[in-house]
Structure 1
Amino acid sequence: MNATTSNYLPVRPEWLASATEPALEPELPIVDAHHHFYERPGWTYLLDDYMEDLRSGHNVRASVYMQALTRYRAAGPNALRPVGETEFVTVATAAPQAGEPEVAQGIVGYADLRQGATVRDVLEAHIEAGCGRFRGVRHLTTWDADSSLANPLTAAPKGLLLDPHYRAGVSELGKLGLSYDAWLFFPQLPELFDLAKANPDITIIVNHCGGVVRIGQYSNMQAEVFERWSRDMRELARLPNVHVKLGGLGMRINGFDFEQGGRPPSSTELAEAWKPWMLTCIEAFGADRCMFESNFPVDKGSYPYSNGWNAFKRLTSQASPAERDALFRGTATAVYRLDART
């Protein structure tokens, strides 16, 4: 990969194929709560690529598409250019074949929330472009004193979640019934708590288990990271408008080093590594406020799609049928207002 993708782990098809597992419980209905399409120098992952992963045997019935800087408008006002991504995804996924998953049944786009109240025009343009599928906004807020952690494409200034202009933009989401997806690093969780408490009418979804970081300045602080993260996630769970996505732990910043093995990790190995983090989230938030996500293609640098969902199934093998239905399908369906028949 080149400089624009160096913050991500490289996807190695032959390595992934060397240990791809058949799907466990292939009948279990799934809504993939978080995936992307990428079209970047050195890395393309669009609908056909995602569909290939979906055909690994799991019963993925629908998905939620998450903004990824893809197919912005090439002309027009800068603030409206991200609407091009919603336009592209809406058209690309408009006609699923009979029996195929409804990809991007819900769409989350980008709008610069630092515009404050004036961001409403951008939000309304997204809603129109989404043809009934636009559900909310993600404006990344990742910042850390260790600048090596943040992707240069999406790095944010310090304290953005506390910025009054940004907060004015967030408040516009509530007026239009839109949700807010939060991607940040775990030391920023108290700032998100403050934002969520100030906006109880807005549905907030914490991405990727709350921004687990175990490299850089945190590489020798494993116990301290878990203690601080778990404390702040439990505090967030006190707020009923906050939900959490379980996944996204195959990234470079997570420090699990799955990519360093001669073969991809098995679902058993993934489940064991993820267990403390994901079970803490489920215990704190409850199954009806947690949802599983693939975070593909980002996590594809660490394991095959099938192994990831197998790991989620292993992790929840002792849960009740109702809890499992919420984690794999129901919570995402409710939070993103998807077709309940999915």
Structure 2
Amino acid sequence: MTSLDGVIPGIVDAHLQQWNPRRTPWAANRASRLYRFVPGIGDRIFPVIVSRADREYVLTPRTVARTYEPRQYAADIAGVPAVAGVPIDTVVHMESHWRAESIEDQPAEDTTSVEETRYVVGLPFGERGAPRLGALIAHADPRAPEFGRILDEHAAVTDLFRGVRIISSRHPDPRVRDGGDTEGMLASAAFLEGFGEIAARKLIFDASVYSHQLYDVVTLAREYPDTPIVLDHFGIPAGVFGPIGLRTGATAAARADIMRLWRERMTTLAGHRNVSVKLSGLAMPVLGFGHERWGNIGDQATLAEMIGPFVEHIITHFGTERVMYGSNYPIDKPNSRMDMQVGALIDCLSRWGPDALRKVFRDNALRTYSIEEVSAP
């Protein structure tokens, strides 16, 4: 396998989430409280208290109901140098659901997500083997009252604030997890109007949608061609590897159709030069890898074989300048160790040579999220 040693000093993980059920009022707090007090019972009762859609999305309560902070992340990335030749030395934190459940529930003065920003910058990044925090993407909803003021509050907390994300994924299959509160959110008049506050501040927007929603990202990119947009999880072609939900990806023909439509939409999206793609979520359970609570892929070679066609299509159409790596940890953790994930992606990208590896695993994320390069010791 190709090594990154001599190519880059370290990997930038452009998609990491952190939380602590004892401290954070985030979306999974009900399961978190249960697991905190009775972890053994929590494992058994998880299928009872959590919807099938949520179970398929995370596979195990341990993913979301246990603390995941720099110490836990440092343990997960300890094996990366053995396969990559270099460590992960920088991370971008991605908002992790500190929000009102819907825009209607969110009062004008709501700044819950600002508390997440305060929480994240107070974590011990850069200590005891944990990478440094290079940038932060916060939660904020352009449809919200006083959206601009909330953006300014995030910026006042830390100079690492680079932009926002609001998960807008919705699926026609009723048993596939919805992240957004309404269909067509990104292309709605209210969203597009509020998005002007992001553009005016020269911030970044991370978009999280399912693959059938990619034309909404096209609309957003067309309306704001000078604002950087990063597509998370390579567009989430839910069910492309196997059955999920009620009927999604249930047959080989259905999976082929998911792949075909993903290809078409990604090709169209690539024509908008302000859009980059994050090779994150490579082992997301919602892609249809399987339903076992721990490990549905097998090994590095299997993962590389499965994601290879997606990586090839993205590099072919977006080039190597608009693609970056993200772990999506800990959501991907049940299906893939970090070293296996990184190794599989190196295997897929090595055919394009060291320049592509350098850009995807480091340079593009540094540039996109305006992260200062680490000074040589």
Q: Which TM class, normalised by the smaller chain length? A: 0.7 to 0.9
Which runs of structure 2 are paired with 1:153-302 in the superposition (5 Å)? 154-214=179-239, 215-216=244-245, 217-219=247-249, 220=251, 221-257=254-290, 259=292, 265-302=298-335
SS in 1 for 2:340: helix
Aligned mates of 1:204, 1:261 — CA distance in 2: 33
57-66 or 119-128: bigger deviation: 57-66
- Residues 197-252 of structure 1, C-alpha deviation per residue, up to 9 Å, x if partnerless? 11011100000011211133331211111111001001000000000001203222
Shift of the 134–292 alpha-carbon distance from structure 1 to 2, 3 Å rule, reads same
Aligned mates of 1:261, 1:127 — CA distance in 2: 38
Is this contact kept in 2: 1:71–1:85, CA < 8 A? no
What amino acid is aligned across from residue 195 of structure 2 in structure 1?
V
Paired residue for 1:105? Answer: 134
141-150 or 320-329: bigger deviation: 141-150
308-317 or 77-86: bigger deviation: 77-86
SS in 2 for 1:299: coil
What RMSD, in angstroms, separates the aligned Cα atoms of the two structures?
Answer: 2.3
What amino acid is aligned across from residue 122 of structure 1 in structure 2?
I
TM-score by length of 1: 0.85
What amino acid is aligned across from residue 323 of structure 2 in structure 1?
C
Calculate percent identity across the aligned residue pairs: 27
Aligned mates of 1:47, 1:157 — CA distance in 2: 33
What amino acid is aligned across from residue 246 of structure 1 in structure 2?
L
CA drift of 1:162 comes to 1.7
- Pick the aligned partner of 2:3 from 3, 21, 25: 25
Shift of the 321–24 alpha-carbon distance from structure 1 to 2, 3 Å rule, reads closer
SS in 2 for 1:114: coil
SS in 1 for 2:135: strand
Is this contact kept in 2: 1:186–1:210, CA < 8 A? yes
What amino acid is aligned across from residue 111 of structure 2 in structure 1?
L
- Pick the aligned partner of 1:311 from 335, 344, 355: 344
Is this contact kept in 1: 2:297–2:303, CA < 8 A? no
Shift of the 71–61 alpha-carbon distance from structure 1 to 2, 3 Å rule, reads farther
Is this contact kept in 1: 2:15–2:328, CA < 8 A? yes
Paired residue for 1:49? Answer: 72
Aligned mates of 1:306, 1:24 — CA distance in 2: 14
- Residues 110-155 of structure 1, C-alpha deviation per residue, up to 9 Å, x if partnerless? 0122126x201000000111x210011001111122122124xx33
Aligned mates of 1:262, 1:48 — CA distance in 2: 22
Corresponding pairs, count: 311
CA drift of 1:256 comes to 2.1
Shift of the 71–38 alpha-carbon distance from structure 1 to 2, 3 Å rule, reads farther
Aligned mates of 1:253, 1:66 — CA distance in 2: 19
What amino acid is aligned across from residue 180 of structure 2 in structure 1?
A
